[in-house]
Amino acid sequence: MNLTELTITQAHNGLKNKEFSSVDLTKAYLEKIKKSDKELNAFLSVTEELALSQAESADKKINSGNFGELTGIPCAIKDAILVEGQKCTAASKILENYVAPYDATVIQKLKKEGTVILGKTNTDEFTMGSSTENSAFGVTKNPYDKTRVAGGSSGGSAAAVAANEACYALGSDTGGSIRQPASLCGVIGLCPTYGSVSRYGLIAHASSLDQIGPLTKNVEDAKIVFEAISGKDKMDATSTDYKFEEAKVELKGLKIGVPKEYFAKGIDKEVEKIIKNSIKKAQDQGAKIKEISLPSSEYALACYYIIGPAEISANLARFDGIKYGLSVDGKDLLDVYLKSKGHGFGAEVKRRIMIGTYVLSSGYYDAYYKKAQEVRQFIRQDFAKAFEKVDLIFCPVSPFPAFKIGEKADDPISMYLADIYTIPMKLAGLPGISLPVGKIGELPVGLQIIGNHFQENKILAIAETIEKL
């Protein structure tokens, strides 16, 4: 039995039946990381001591007979989510030596479950990017083809799960950062409804868009992790009192919307073929396929790259070299600010801060930021109208499979287009999942299933059905 290939449920059953211990399981994953991660670069830090001590505690819990599905299961955490006493760099030089003083709410919840934390995974700097090439600590490679990207910004988490370096992982999704790397690495990636999971302890990128979610080996695992981390948190005013309940939903009679705008120019022909084939399989099982229109989606990318940078500009103002993080000496206070930020932030972060500061500045606020917020309302309305006619929406996650490392690095616009299908639903605060449904050669392709607000149960039920087809 290869312990690192087990799903959460399989590992849980093995622990329950005393076929192996959590320490055995944890050691197997740590060994796997030592063997393969030098080349992959999915992890920025491996917390071996913490993991083994958590595994020992989990074994005691298991022996007492009072334990849950995540007890003793080794996971990886995106390095933008705080784990007390561990480094949290957000893959940036400005936080290279920052040690988290407290646990994020999702980490508190996982620790309560008795999970084992193997380490922190690579990400684009401050989660800004679609390829993990913006990390200050090197790119994460795709486990299916080491010359290609793992996607981003949760590329490290997706690659770790795909390469069996973790049983599951947590990532965060602002414009597509869970679903897009999940699609490129052939794993499950669930981006929950905005507010269903606490953001407390997640280093902020764009506060009205950020959401933590799981990356897993199958749909059942995503359900288990999501149920464990979701719910109201007094530390996050945007979180809602949401309790996940499983839904019995069948493909027969289900109304599936297919947005015509998502199959226009720019999509790889092979990707289109695989996604349409998945939709056809659902139809063969009795689903009713309905073409829908999301006309405002064509403005989503432009809208996102105004709202996102505006929030980035505000959120990243705190990294000034005074309270924490990198501090570079200067002749006066302003000089300290400029030098610390100048040395600490990478090119993409600086680019977005400058765009954000510009669109919020006097004389431009109405022309850009206010206009983008108005467009966001139109995008929300498009989805609301669509969900009056259909139960779920099926579409691609990414217009292309994993691209070569360096292929889009010098062209920000081309890189931004990687999230063209994942951004619209984020602006509307909706939940979505990436489900692997085929391959182009060796490269995985993901189907995106989008539901209405707080309909994760419906999405997961249908994703599980499709997974078995």
Mean pLDDT of 246-260: 96
- DSSP one-letter string for 251-270: STT-EEEEEGGGGSTTS-HH
What own/partner pairs with CB < 8 Å and gap ≥ 24 does 336-343 have? 340/94, 341/94, 343/93, 343/94
d(CA 394, CA 283): 12
Q: Number of helices and strands (H, E) in the chain? A: 15, 13
Q: What is the pLDDT of residue 411?
A: 86
Using alpha carbons, select from 420, 369, 457 the residue that is nearest to residue 193.
457
Mean pLDDT of 159-178: 98
CA dist 54 to 74, 81, 110, 462, Å?
9, 18, 11, 34
Looking at residue 402, what DSSP letter applies?
Answer: P
Instruction: State the chain's mean pLDDT as an integer.
Output: 97
pLDDT digits (tens, 9 = 90+) for 16-67: 999 999 999 999 999 999 999 999 999 999 999 999 999 999 999 999 998 9
Q: Which of 177, 198, 230, 434 is catalytic?
A: 177
| Exposure letters 173-200 (e unless 16+ CB within 10 A, then b) | bbbbbbbbbbbbbbbbbbbbbbbbbbbb
d(CA 203, CA 124): 13
**pLDDT beyond 90 at 413:** no
Establish whether the linkage from the previous residue to 153 is cis, with ω within 30° of 0. Answer: yes
Query: Catalytic site residue 153?
Result: yes
Residue type, 24: D
Using alpha carbons, select from 81, 315, 108 the residue that is nearest to residue 202.
81
pLDDT digits (tens, 9 = 90+) for 69-119: 999 999 999 999 999 999 999 999 999 999 999 999 999 999 999 999 999
**pLDDT beyond 90 at 264:** no
Contact 29, 4 (CB under 8 A): yes
- The model's confidence at residue 454, banded by pLDDT at 50, 70 and 90, is very high
Other CB atoms within 10 A of residue 168 CB: 28
Q: What is the pLDDT of residue 58?
A: 98
d(CA 129, CA 136): 12
Other CB atoms within 10 A of residue 31 CB: 12
Q: What is the pLDDT of residue 402?
A: 98
Contact 361, 381 (CB under 8 A): no
CA 61 to chain centre: 30
d(CA 347, CA 23): 42
d(CA 380, CA 428): 5
**pLDDT beyond 90 at 1:** no
Mean pLDDT of 232-257: 95
- Please state the domain extents for the chain: 1-282+395-469
Q: What is the pLDDT of residue 189?
A: 98
| DSSP-H helix ranges across 321-441 | 333-344, 347-360, 371-389, 412-416, 423-427
148 phi and psi angles, rounded to 5 deg: -115, 165
Mean pLDDT of 327-343: 96
- The model's confidence at residue 265, banded by pLDDT at 50, 70 and 90, is confident
How many percent of the chain have pLDDT more than 90?
96
pLDDT digits (tens, 9 = 90+) for 175-195: 999 999 999 999 999 999 999
Other CB atoms within 10 A of residue 57 CB: 16
Q: Which of 32, 78, 141, 217 is catalytic?
A: 78
- The model's confidence at residue 68, banded by pLDDT at 50, 70 and 90, is very high
| DSSP-H helix ranges across 81-198 | 105-113, 155-162, 179-185
CATH 3.30.930.10 fits 1-282+395-469, yes or no: no
**pLDDT beyond 90 at 414:** no
Query: Catalytic site residue 278?
Result: no
Other CB atoms within 10 A of residue 35 CB: 10
Mean pLDDT of 160-180: 98
Q: What is the pLDDT of residue 461?
A: 98
CA 419 to chain centre: 12
pLDDT digits (tens, 9 = 90+) for 268-319: 999 999 999 999 999 999 999 999 999 999 999 999 999 999 999 999 999 9
Angle formed by the axes of helices 22-40 and 8-16, nearest 10°: 150
Query: Catalytic site residue 177?
Result: yes
Q: Which of 92, 153, 157, 278 is catalytic?
A: 153
293 phi and psi angles, rounded to 5 deg: -125, 130
Q: What is the pLDDT of residue 409?
A: 86
d(CA 75, CA 170): 8
At 440 the three-state DSSP class reads: strand
Mean pLDDT of 112-131: 98
